[in-house]
Structure 1
């Protein structure tokens, strides 16, 4: 079940439990050297919130159709981009969940094109048996509920490593302004429990040790957890509200200023990819198959895919 910010119940797909630890986990057999591609496989570094869609559906389907092994590794997008910049990893494909951040960090040294292929939204996962969860379940405004949270009761991702983390901070800032709650951002950041990996973010909620967490809708669907939907002004899911989202900002530990933006995934084949043809074929494969993303709680709106730069002919537009 989902509950939106206006107290209306909406249907939610039932999903089996997450099969891989989404943050810091290597879903395929990968070595420690960082040069991971071979003649019959491609290496993909992807946002943690894509792990289920890629591991359960798209990766195996690509292997079956093209005879090329898919090796996926999943982290927060900021962490992925740092790995590429510092050459800790040399993947063929990068899939992130902050369009502007990927372009800022990878253009022009590591990539010269990208394609936007799916979207998501931010909301609150909760445990109904807790006091905060009961209030969210009853449809109380989320910002009133979270204002009463004790320290550690609300989980957020690491804002220095993952967009789902800094989007939580953006959310608190937008609520402080929009609802005139003085000090809400600072208070919530101080009280929140910060998880280093996206895959750990919902563990406390599942175990009943944490009342709620700020996460993507797809993450709630993956784990079959109750999800409180936020209105468009706060869920980062409506491109028409982009200028409003942009008012919020966060400076990461490595000095990058990230502004609020719609939750849109984009991907590219790196300029130094060991298997560029197969990597381009994989990106094209993603664009052709919308059902796995939608099954996993993401969306593929009519305006996607959308490209930028010199997109290779192999990648279908």
Structure 2
């Protein structure tokens, strides 16, 4: 099992070279009764650390202690009892339900959506071709090994969605062996919050990321077409034609990006956990400011949320 050590203090992370692995105030998860511990999808690291966390702390006096990994790595940590956070979030709502329902929780709330695309450094040869309007898949097929990064598909829905996007793009644009070509070329980053660090350090030219990640890093972004951006509910049937099986045997079908959250049944501070989840639902502007989308169908409950969660 490959689970990256991806948690550092907020101040240290901001000072590190291009790192976006952000943690809360130094300390263990659930350190004090006035803290709420969070184990979250890595793509939400800056959303929580720069937007939700400070506002939540100001509104409630609860301190946020966050750890951020690929969502499948989050599920593995919870299942193995490596971590017992108050709040768990996932970038794939179905993944959380498949992995944690019946043992850790029996409810969740969906609170935001996202879309997939290519973030890039315009100063590179690859980036200049993208900026000139050359189709991304032509540029990608010509890329040098390691020039483009994706998240590790065995640890992270962003990674397996990138692989699925290669399949869907091949069908959409008539590209022969595109998935195989790309998997031979891309670098697979095991720590999702560091996916864009390679671009910022000059080691890579581009990465397949969610829209909010490009916004947070102020990088140019080419959103994929609805046929494979995983952000269009009307294309859900098309997404479902592809799948990926992780190294631990979980098969994820293609589905729109939906973020959800729950409170661990054995949370150390369940009251604080419920307050954080409710705060997410009550403050969609914090999420849209971070580059996420909150459509009219959100928030939405699945299962029966406990008292204190009003959807």
**Would you call these one fold, judging by a TM-score over 0.5?**
yes
- Equivalenced residue count is 296
Give the Cα–Cα distance (whole angstroms) in 1 for the partners of residues 277 and 58 of structure 2. Answer: 15
> How far apart are 1:22 and its partner, in Å?
4.0
Task: Give matches, 1:178-193, under 5 Å.
Answer: 178-193=172-187
Which residue of the other structure, out of 276, 279, 284, is the alignment partner of 1:290? Answer: 284
Contact residue 22 and residue 74 of structure 1 kept, 8 A: no
8 Å CA contact 1:27–1:72 kept in 2: the answer is: yes
> Alpha carbons of 1:97 and 1:71: their partners in 2 closer, same or farther (altered >3 Å)?
same
User: Contact (CA 8 Å) 2:112, 2:294: kept in 1 or not?
Assistant: yes
Correspondence for 1:208: 202
Mapped contact 1:37–1:91 kept (Cα < 8 A): no
SS of structure 1 residue aligned to 2:85: coil
CA shift for structure 1 position 200: 2.1
The equivalent position to 1:263 in structure 2, one of 226, 247, 257, is 257
**For 1:153 and 1:191, how far apart are their aligned partners in 2?**
8
Cα displacement (A) at 1:313: 2.8
Match of 1:26? 23
Q: Indicate whether 1:38 and 2:32 are aligned.
A: yes
Shift of 1:242: 0.9
Runs ≥4 residues deviating over 6 A:
none
Q: Is the 8 A contact 2:23 2:49 kept in 1?
A: no
CA distance in 2, matches of 1:89, 1:30: 13
How many Å separate the matches in 2 of 1:27 and 1:161?
22
The aligned counterpart of 1:5 is none
C-alpha distance in structure 2 between counterparts of 1:71 and 1:94, whole Å: 12
Counterparts of 2:67 and 2:205, CA distance in 1: 29
Matches within 5 A, 1:1-317: 19=14, 21-23=19-21, 25-31=22-28, 36-317=30-311
Uncovered stretches (5+) of structure 2, i.e. residues with no partner: 1-12
Kept after mapping to 2: 8 A contact 1:22/1:75: no
CA distance in 2, matches of 1:73, 1:273: 15
TM-superposed CA distance for 1:278, in Å, is: 1.8
Q: Displacement, 1:57?
A: 2.1
Deviates more, 1:86-95 or 1:244-253: 244-253
- SS at structure 2 position matched to 1:51: helix
Q: Output the CA distance in 2 between the equivalents of 1:30 and 1:22.
A: 18
CA shift for structure 1 position 207? 2.6
CA separation in 1, counterparts of 2:134 and 2:97?
38
Q: Residue 159 of structure 1 aligns to a residue in which SS? A: coil
Shift of 1:97: 0.4
Q: How large is the RMSD of aligned CA atoms in angstroms?
A: 1.5
Deviations along 1:200-251, whole A, 9 cap, x unmatched? Answer: 2112222333221100111111111111111111111111111111111111
Deviation at 1:78, TM superposition (A): 0.5
Q: 5+ unaligned residues in a row in structure 1: which ranges?
A: 1-17
If the length of structure 2 is used for normalisation, what is the TM-score? 0.91
The question of whether the paired residues in 1 share the 8 Å contact of 2:89 and 2:261 is answered with yes
Residue 103 to residue 22, structure 1, CA distance change in 2 (3 Å): farther
In 2, the alpha carbon distance for the partners of 1:70 and 1:200 equals 21
**Cα distance, 1:315 vs. partner?**
0.9
